[in-house]
Amino acid sequence: MQEEKHQMSYLDAGRKASNELHLSSSEYIQLVDPHEGKPFALKLALSKAKGEVIILTDGDSYFEKDSVRELLIPFKDKSIGGVSGRPKSIDKRNSLFGYWGHLLSDAADNRRRSQMSKVKDSNYYKSNKTFFPMSGYIMAVRNVPITLPQNVLSDDAYISYELRNEGYDIGYTPNAICYVKYPTNLKDYYKQKVRSIGGFKQLERFGIFKRDKQSRSFLIELSYTLFVLKYPKSIKEFIWSLLLFPIRLITWVKILWERVIMKKDMPKTGWERIESTK
């Protein structure tokens, strides 16, 4: 019942925005979520989309002005199949979880910049031999056939690797900013991270790592130890950085148990709602 109320509020908001923009029935098509999981809903949306480029986002985020324009610029390069924008935390940095949100989103930005090549005379980066998957918070893809498994947990990562396997490059434009509300308690933190990061272990079973290697693992995260220790601006923040290490270790233990040992996939009812991000 609660989910239906949330869905109706989103539908009402969509219709209101459509009316304000004077969009026709061909320009604005509203789909009702059948509650069979995000991959099912995403496949439904992709099957209805008719544009050359499709922009995807999440329900707990919003774009900075001109972010759509910035997302589209890299597609002038025909070799690019998908472009990720830059998620930023909307939470205040003066709390433990707020600080972690800023740290992790800035670490992802650093990794995308370092693993992709800056395109000359532009504001965006392009994958070469290495890349980091697009963010589901803000990404755009060419309207090309993509086979998305019904039970996939990290759909943004799957789409990124699928495009790479098809010969496309991935772009990253940090000027396309998406503001995100991150979890504010440990229960929701584990729930979100075990699902999203743990989805990369599931991708190994899908055999998606063909052109590129696995990009998320405990050992890969350890290589960012120096970044985590240099990130704080005060003694309090330094302590918060230190606290993140055991939390991430527990996260990976949970991932090992649920994704590798128990081989848990997407529940039939879809993802469990993470209330503190809403």
What residue numbers bound the domain in which 180 lies? 31-277
Provide the whole-model pTM.
0.88
User: Is residue 224 a part of any domain in this protein?
Assistant: yes
Residue numbers in the chain where pLDDT is lower than 70: 1-10, 37, 265-278
pLDDT per position as a tens digit, 183-240 = 999 999 999 999 889 889 889 888 999 999 999 999 999 999 999 999 999 999 999 9
Is residue 198 domain-resident? yes
Structural domain includes residue 169: yes
Check residue 43 and give its pLDDT. Answer: 82
Q: Is residue 16 part of a domain?
A: no
The CATH number given to whatever domain includes residue 199 is 3.90.550
Phi, psi (deg, nearest 5) at residue 264: -75, 140
Q: How many domains does the chain have?
A: 1
Q: Has residue 104 been placed in a domain?
A: yes
**What is the distance between the alpha carbons of residues 135 and 157, in angstroms, rounded to a whole number?**
8
Amino acid at 86: R
The answer to whether position 15 is within a domain reads no
**Phi, psi (deg, nearest 5) at residue 169:** -100, 160
> Is 202 within a domain?
yes
Three-state secondary structure readout of 100-166: HHHHHHHHHHHHHHHHCEECCCCCCEECCCCCCCCCCCEEEEECCCCCCCCCCCCHHHHHHHHHHHC
In a domain, 20, yes or no: no
- Identify the pLDDT of residue 72: 97
